[in-house]
Amino acid sequence: MGSLQFEDRMSKILFTEAVIQRRVKEMAAQITADYTENGLAEDLKGRPLLLVGVLRGALVFLADLARPFPIPVEYDLISVSSYRNGTAPGAVRLVKDLEKPIEGRDVLLVEDIIDTGYTIEYLRRSFIARKPASLRVCTLVDKIARREIATNIDYRGFALEEDEFIVGYGMDYAELYRNLPYIGVLKPEYIG
Ligand code: PRP
């Protein structure tokens, strides 16, 4: 079953492939301007901006975001897991750490979606303890309707007001749909 057939499982397509690709390029351009012209780069040694993708959802976004950069960038990956139905709401577990230290580096955390805010706040605390030169946060989707703790987002692709179950472009339901090039709302009959 290819991605065309998967479209039948969506109650609507929220962001088409073309819309996502255009927005991701705009974000890369804004980030480039901030770190080159707008003085955000603080790494005293002048090393490239380090993009840190949060596995697994951000993989697709990171791959597209990294490619249009006209300036050198590096990337690394971190993997965390949240206990969604656990006894401690908001608890996050580190599954795979970064490969290299980030002390003194300009770091941009890259997420596919910020929902309750717990994951990004866990990562922010963990990263600040490692003393980067600067730390900013970028997410493709900001699901503001679900926010439980305040978090500052520096770059946001799309703000989502509704609490809808979205999949595609890295986001899954039971590990499916991550490879879809668009973001859609999954019909209720395909959930559960
Ligand atoms: C998603 C997403 C964020 C997190 C956001 O990951 O990629 O990391 O949830 O949710 P929060 O703001 O409520 O903490 P998920 O745990 O679904 O894992 P995945 O990236 O492997 O799909």
What would the DSSP string read from start to end of 12-70? EEEE-HHHHHHHHHHHHHHHHHHHHTSS----TT-PPEEEEEEETTTHHHHHHHHTT-S
- The pLDDT score that the predictor gives to residue 5 is 82
Please report which confidence band the pLDDT of residue 98 belongs to, taking 50, 70 and 90 as the band edges: very high
Please report which confidence band the pLDDT of residue 1 belongs to, taking 50, 70 and 90 as the band edges: low
Calculate the average pLDDT of the chain: 95
- What's the mean pLDDT in 124-139? 98
- What's the mean pLDDT in 126-152? 97
For this structure, is 34 an active site residue? Answer: no
142 lines ligand 1 (CB under 6 A): no
Please enumerate in sequence order all residues whose Cβ is within 8 A of that of 90, keeping only pairs 6 or more positions apart, or say none: 82, 116, 118, 148, 149
pTM for the structure as a whole: 0.95
Sorted by where each starts, the structural domains of the chain and their CATH numbers stand as 6-39+46-84+94-190 (3.40.50.2020)
115 lines ligand 1 (CB under 6 A): yes
* Residue 85 predicted with pLDDT over 70: no
- The pLDDT score that the predictor gives to residue 2 is 58
- The pLDDT score that the predictor gives to residue 82 is 85
Cα 117 to Cα 174: distance, rounded to the nearest angstrom: 21
* Candidate from 59, 113, 171, 191 with most ligand 1 atoms within 8 A of CB, to mutate: 113
Q: Which of 31, 30, 70 is nearest to 51 (CA)?
A: 31
Backbone angles phi, psi at 173, to 5 degrees: -125, 120
8 Å CB contact between 71 and 64: no
The tens digit of pLDDT for each residue in 7-66 reads: 999 999 999 999 999 999 999 999 999 999 999 999 999 999 999 999 999 999 999 999
* Residue 192 predicted with pLDDT over 90: no
168 lines ligand 1 (CB under 6 A): no
8 Å CB contact between 139 and 54: no
